[in-house]
A and B are shown apart, each in its own frame.
Chain A
Amino acid sequence: MSTGRVRRAALGYTLLAPSLFGAAAFLLLPMLVVVWLSLQRWDLLGPIRFVGLANWRSVLTDPTFGNSLLVTAGFVGLVVPLQTILGLLAASLLARQLPGSPFFRTVYVLPWICAPLAIAVLWRWLLAPTDGAINTVLGRRVEWLTDPTLALPVVSAVTVWTNVGYVALFFLAGILAIPADIQRAAQLDGATSWQRFRRITLPMLRPTLFFVLVTGVVSAAQVFDTVFALTNGGPRNRTDLVAHRIYAEAFGAAAVGRAAVMAIVVFAILIAATVVQHLFFRRRITYELV
């Protein structure tokens, strides 16, 4: 190797060193540690003891964890379609670019800028049974957060309320990137605005839709702050999303090994979901180009 190449490599690795250290120490090493931890018993304070696959057996047969996965699936199933449809709707209104549109766009993004924890605390008051704003307006006592059938839809609604403006931004960028000529040509050919939306806007938004769905699923599957402050996983674990379960297991029940198993399972599911969505959309996109 020439000295020039050695020097360039030395410079390259010197510049990379801090970032590589960060990724190795705080992203990759934790992944190894979590696998190791899944084979240990630890209560946060005492010694760490090897227990083989005991944690795996206990978690994989634990109805509480099964419930958490189902609750999370239900939550994702409510939040992602709703926020996508409402985001698309808001974007198609904003895309008309009437005077004042930027103001509305800014307003819609506000909830998303704020700390999810603070938003959840705000809604905890709005939804409070006796002195909350919503029940005061309704004039009756609805147990929004403690009724087992209402709690998950309500937590989902708060999440959708937070995310719609954010989702709309991506659709807005996508719609504005569609060449105006195509829309105008279709209009001249007599296409109605619904036909134009269905046949032009929607197909051309496919990459945006992919991005919004993938990031929507991955982030909804990890929501923690919102349930922590709104319901603490209750009532009767009906809003016990997996991120909350991992937290409760590790820092509430002090069963760190079990929490590690749960974290690994969640990671595997998220990777699988991302890959599946990717394959699905790639096929659809190629089909579109042919």
Chain B
Amino acid sequence: MSWFSRILVYAALTVGALITLTPFALGLLTSFTTPQQFATGSPLGIPNPPTLANYAALHGAGFGRAAVVTALMTAVIVVGQLTFSVLAAYAFARLNFAGRDVLFWIYILTMLVPPSVTVVPLYLMLAEVGLRNTFWALVLPFAFGSPYAIFLLREYFRAIPADLLKAARVDGANTADVLVHVVVPASRPILVTLFLITVVSQWNNFMWPLVITSGSKWRVLTVATAGLQSQYNAQWTLVMAATTVAIVPLIALFIVFQRRVVRSIVVSGLK
């Protein structure tokens, strides 16, 4: 490639990066600005001196609790989805029994059911059994495995050499041993992939927590941020601090697991 086209490529890449990063940078700066500085200075200026007052105010507004609820919800769903998906995928991939394949394809078809369609009936169902505004309502609809995860894991499990499984059996291992000591260790990359995409999608979930919870008890970060925004529409310094709190944990996770996440997205075609 000539040096001229190199410069053009870098110029285009840099423009793209600036368009992507500038909104985040501005939001972050504003979150460290006092309302007075924000009102008098330019919204684009660097806060002098920077303040943590907005974050302190968020703490008072119950964001600490919201962060804990969000983390707990994400953790329960991730553990449930991974565990149950591994069990089901193993059955679909390595066991022979009547009805297996029909069941698998019916199961895969459920991937076509969009969340905007199920939200209304799910609300009715969980309200009827008295679970509205509980932690269980947040996690139950997602914790029993996902068709997506099962599909990906099944592909992976089918590629595990049969000799490896047979050897374990000969050594007297039962199904639980085989799963824990052979299948799971052999599938670490795909499990990490699923772990990451589940964390991302559950941490960011908004519509379901919005409808099924009310008040501050089981409020998650996305719902708390939306509530703050509509309540204090003009207090942008506070609202940007809330946005930062909702975003930063995932950006940190993303930067630590950068390569993995990128590969995960491509493997799974999440969403």
Contact = CB atoms under 8 A, between A and B. Distances in A.
Interface string B248-271: 001100110011011001100101
A131 B117 CA distance: 38
Nearest to B265: A169
Contact of A211 (B125, B203, B225, B269): B269
A222 B113 contact: no
B145 A128 contact: no
A110 interface: yes
Given A131-B236, A136-B43, A224-B206, A22 B143 contact: yes
Contacts of B99: 9
B156 interface: no
A37 B110 CA distance: 20
Interface residues of B, number: 92
B44 A19 contact: no
Given A18-B87, A169-B266, A243 B116 contact: yes
B162 interface: no
A267 B117 contact: yes
Interface string A18-31: 11111101111111
Contacts of B42: 136
A50 interface: no
B116 A266 contact: yes
Interface string B105-140: 001001011111111111111010000000000001
Interface string A265-279: 011001100100000
Contact of A125 (B91, B240, B251): B240
Contact of A225 (B26, B112, B141, B206): B206
B96 to A, nearest CB: 6
Interface in A106-156: 106-111, 113-119, 121-126, 128, 131-133, 136-137
A22 B16 contact: no
A233 interface: no
A112 to B, nearest CB: 8
A106 B254 CA distance: 9
A197 interface: no
A90 B6 CA distance: 15
Contact of B20 (A101, A165, A243): A165
Query: Which of B39, B88, B125, B211 gathers the greatest number of chain A CB atoms within 10 Å?
Result: B88
Nearest to A211: B269
Contacts of B124: 33, 37, 42, 256
Interface stretch (B7-15, B57-65, B163-171): B7-15
A115 B24 contact: no
Contacts of B243: 118, 121-122
Nearest to A123: B23
Interface residues of A, number: 92
Interface stretch (A58-66, A76-84, A179-187, A245-253): A245-253
A104 B16 contact: yes
B43 A19 contact: no
Contacts of B12: 93
Contact of B250 (A31, A114, A260): A114
Interface in B138-197: 140-145, 147, 150, 175
Contact of B107 (A23, A105, A133, A264): A23
A183 B259 CA distance: 27
B250 A266 contact: no
A260 B147 CA distance: 24
Interface in B199-248: 200, 203-204, 206-207, 211, 221-222, 225-226, 229, 234, 236, 239-240, 242-243, 246-247
A74 B96 CA distance: 48
A15 interface: yes
Nearest to B122: A30
A215 interface: yes
A193 B88 CA distance: 48
Interface of B: 1, 6, 9-10, 12-13, 16-17, 19-21, 23-24, 26-27, 30, 38-39, 42-44, 84-85, 87-88, 90-92, 95-100, 103, 107, 110, 112-125, 127, 140-145, 147, 150, 175, 200, 203-204, 206-207, 211, 221-222, 225-226, 229, 234, 236, 239-240, 242-243, 246-247, 250-251, 254-255, 258-259, 261-262, 265-266, 269, 271
29 contacts: A9-B97, A12-B96, A23-B107, A26-B141, A30-B113, A42-B124, A93-B9, A100-B10, A102-B259, A104-B13, A107-B20, A110-B20, A110-B21, A114-B246, A115-B203, A117-B225, A117-B246, A118-B246, A118-B247, A121-B229, A131-B43, A131-B234, A133-B23, A137-B44, A173-B266, A222-B114, A224-B207, A247-B211, A256-B124
Q: Which 10 A-B pairs have the closest CB atoms?
A: A22-B144, A33-B121, A19-B145, A115-B204, A19-B88, A9-B97, A30-B121, A12-B97, A15-B91, A118-B246
Interface of A: 5, 8-9, 11-13, 15-16, 18-23, 25-31, 33-34, 37, 42, 44, 90, 93-94, 96, 98, 100-102, 104-111, 113-119, 121-126, 128, 131-133, 136-137, 161, 165-166, 169-170, 173, 211, 215, 218-219, 222, 224-225, 228-229, 242-243, 246-247, 250-251, 256, 259-260, 263-264, 266-267, 270-271, 274
